[in-house]
A and B are shown apart, each in its own frame.
Chain A
Amino acid sequence: ESNHASLIPEEGKKKVSGHHPGQSHELLRDFEATLLHMFGLQRRPRPSRSAVVPQYLLDLYRLQSGEADEAGAQEVSFEYPERSTSRANTVRAFHHEEHMEQVPSDGPYTTGTPLRFLFNLSSIPEDELLSTAELRLYRKQIEEASSEDAGNEGLHRINVYEVLKPPRPGQLITRLLDTRLVRHNTSNWESFDVSPAVLRWTRDRLPNHGLAVEVLHLNRTPRHQDKHVRISRSLHQAPGEDWDQLRPLLVTFGHDGKGHPLTRRTKR
């Protein structure tokens, strides 16, 4: 009861404290239920210890609320996605089901074959209409041994596909969604537009067979194949890397018809 009292202003407390404890407990529980309902939650979340808050969403919150503009605030390394947020009042982040990323194949995993990213989007409420979705992949700089390698050797092609049918051994039916050529001399997050696929899974209720990501080191001797883009825990055991913060992230932007979009606010 002492915990909840601060949610009710002074006057309210007098009213509440007049009741005998049991009743005020019930009143406070009702009050909490009302607030949770307003947040669109059926029950009070009890996060597990393994819950991860992606830095990207923390930075989005800080940019949107104006906290990032405050003096001495930590720098944010990306532009606020105005286009996506101008039509959304809700942003959700998803990690893929790691145990399903290996595409069934006849032989052992060979480098460069696409990995499958299946995202469980069932937590998106039906009344939330998605407008955009992005897949964010992290790539880590590779120090070239020699400067002549820094030329065309450092190029990697990243292809992002939608998986159209349930994967069968050695056969992955896909449709290309986005592609990009990157040089491995820098570290950065790359954002790929996967809206067409995600909107088909959510808005059109079509089956979600996931995405597939293929990274090819464009070099005669692909020495750095699978070493630049962080797409699977199994491929990168670099010491000191926090995989939970570097793993692929699907971000959806939607609106449930209640309230204003997440346009940036100047800090009052």
Chain B
Amino acid sequence: SPKQRGRKRNRNCRRHALYVDFSEVGWNDWIVAPPGYQAYYCHGECPFPLADHLNSTNHAIVQTLVNSVNSNIPKACCVPTELSAISMLYLDETDRVVLKNYQEMVVEGCGCR
């Protein structure tokens, strides 16, 4: 019987869930809201030696194969390519309340760079 081929776990670079729970890290005494937030993070292989946006053409792939990229070149890294902001309500060091918009707090997209 055909060997049950388990779904090959997609090890490629992608966004993974990561909920940052401020009460779990003991920050909920000074962060009033939100109680936590979906931060996500990027992780996975970048199998192709070219950054995603370069290997979008067959020509690039052929050139790469033909010219057999120098293996000393470090592999592309799996990093956030798009981030978004969250607003936070917190008490600062002087017990005063601050509402602030923090940029680049949520990973919206990942890619090989």
B residues less than 8 Å from A65 (CB atoms): 33-34, 86-87
How big is chain A's contact interface, by range? Answer: 35 or more
A residues less than 8 Å from B34 (CB atoms): 65
Contact between B43 and A64 (Cβ–Cβ < 8 Å)?
Answer: no
Number of interface residues of B (CB under 8 A): 36
**Closest chain A residue to B21, Cβ basis:** A6
Contact between B20 and A7 (Cβ–Cβ < 8 Å)?
Answer: yes
Is A94 interfacial (CB-CB < 8 Å)?
A: yes
Contact between A61 and B33 (Cβ–Cβ < 8 Å)?
Answer: yes
Within A223-255, which residues are at the interface with B (CB < 8 Å)?
A: none
Within B21-54, which residues are at the interface with A (CB < 8 Å)?
A: 21, 24-27, 29-30, 32-34, 41, 43
Within A35-78, which residues are at the interface with B (CB < 8 Å)?
A: 38-48, 50-54, 57-58, 60-62, 64-65
Bound complex: CA A182 to CA B101 (Å): 35
Q: Name B's interface SS.
A: strand
Contact between B99 and A262 (Cβ–Cβ < 8 Å)?
Answer: yes
Q: Identify A90's interface contact among B43, B95, B100, B104, CB under 8 A.
A: B100
A90 touching B99 in the complex, CB below 8 Å, given contacts A3-B26, A7-B25:
yes
Contact between B29 and A47 (Cβ–Cβ < 8 Å)?
Answer: yes
A residues less than 8 Å from B88 (CB atoms): 39
Contact between B93 and A43 (Cβ–Cβ < 8 Å)?
Answer: yes
Contact between A262 and B87 (Cβ–Cβ < 8 Å)?
Answer: yes
**Residue-wise interface mask of B (77-113) relative to A, using a CB-CB cutoff of 8 A (1 in contact, 0 not):** 0000000011111111111111111111000000000
Contact between B93 and A42 (Cβ–Cβ < 8 Å)?
Answer: yes
Is B18 interfacial (CB-CB < 8 Å)?
A: yes
Most buried by A among B16, B90, B97: B97
Bound complex: CA A12 to CA B110 (Å): 17
Bound complex: CA A92 to CA B90 (Å): 10
Interchain nearest-CB distance for A257 vs B (Å): 11
Contact between A41 and B101 (Cβ–Cβ < 8 Å)?
Answer: no
Interchain nearest-CB distance for B31 vs A (Å): 9
A residues less than 8 Å from B95 (CB atoms): 45, 47-48, 50-51
Is A258 interfacial (CB-CB < 8 Å)?
A: yes
B residues less than 8 Å from A64 (CB atoms): 87, 99, 101
Is A4 interfacial (CB-CB < 8 Å)?
A: yes
Contact between A53 and B91 (Cβ–Cβ < 8 Å)?
Answer: yes
B residues less than 8 Å from A90 (CB atoms): 98-101
Contact between B96 and A93 (Cβ–Cβ < 8 Å)?
Answer: yes
Is A222 interfacial (CB-CB < 8 Å)?
A: no
Bound complex: CA A7 to CA B51 (Å): 28
Interchain nearest-CB distance for A247 vs B (Å): 13
A53 touching B89 in the complex, CB below 8 Å, given contacts A58-B32, A259-B103, A260-B103:
yes
Q: Identify A61's interface contact among B94, B99, B102, CB under 8 A.
A: B99
Is A146 interfacial (CB-CB < 8 Å)?
A: no
Bound complex: CA A261 to CA B91 (Å): 20
Please list 16 pairs of residues, one from A and one from B, whose beta carbons are closer than 8 Å in the complex, sorted by A's number: A6-B20, A7-B25, A9-B41, A11-B43, A41-B92, A44-B27, A47-B30, A47-B95, A52-B97, A53-B32, A64-B99, A90-B101, A92-B97, A123-B93, A259-B103, A262-B99
Give A residues with C-beta under 8 Å from B. 3-4, 6-7, 9, 11, 32, 38-48, 50-54, 57-58, 60-62, 64-65, 89-94, 123, 258-262, 265
**Sorted from nearest, which 5 A-B pairs have the closest CB atoms?**
A259-B103, A45-B30, A91-B99, A61-B89, A89-B101
